[in-house]
Amino acid sequence: VPFSVSIIGVVRTDRTTTVDTPVQAALNPDEEGVLELDPAYVDGLDGLAGFDYAWLLTWLDGPAPAGAEEPPEPREPLNLRPVPFLLARRPRPIGVFATRGPRRVNPIGLSLVRVVAVEGALIRFAGVDLVDGTPVLDIKPYVGAFDGPPGPVRCGWFDELALPPGATPASLSGPE
């Protein structure tokens, strides 16, 4: 039985195509975006400005934003062992649950952003890895005591990689 989720807001950024959008907020920490929360939920933001960082849970398979150049892609069966963008030049398939890629069984994104300001139902944030128009499902405060392991940890195939600042699917797949 599927559950249904509702959209609580939309992200506004200067990125209009996924191929030119950085793959992680941490690789593009200074670019700013705005979350436009549905005003019906504005009371839910009370206290958020006291946090430096927040998690955005987003829907990565939503309707393309108006004006975007990418037509909606035909739905293909999910590849459970895709090649991550970060491995495009040295292709190696990785189980989707060991990747952070957007094509997942449930295409829910997890972005850690810096809270710049909360202004009414708008959240100005820094750290853009979302295309303009991305639907938002939830906002959670980042809590250091909950959201990090107690020390350095193994991070699988990421431990072997250089993580280039600003990396996008396009920059990671083109000629080096």
Please give the residues from 76 up to 105 whose contact with a copy of itself meets the rule CB under 8 A: 80-81, 93-100, 104-105
According to CB under 8 A, which residues from 1 to 20 bind a copy of itself? 1-8
Cβ proximity to a copy of itself, 64 vs 108, nearer residue: 108
- CA contacts within 13 A on the Cβ side of 95: 3
CA distances from 115 to 51, 83, 110, 140, 149 (A): 7, 32, 15, 11, 22
166 scored as a contact of a copy of itself (CB under 8 A): no
141, 48 contact by CB (below 8 A): yes
Q: x/- string (CB under 8 A) for a copy of itself, residues 22-51?
A: --xxxx-x-----------x-xxxxxx-xx
Cβ proximity to a copy of itself, 117 vs 158, nearer residue: 158
- DSSP run (H or E) holding 171: helix 169-173
According to CB under 8 A, which residues from 98 to 157 bind a copy of itself? 98-100, 104-106, 108, 110, 112, 114, 135, 137-150, 152-157
Q: How many CB atoms lie within 10 A of CB 6?
A: 7
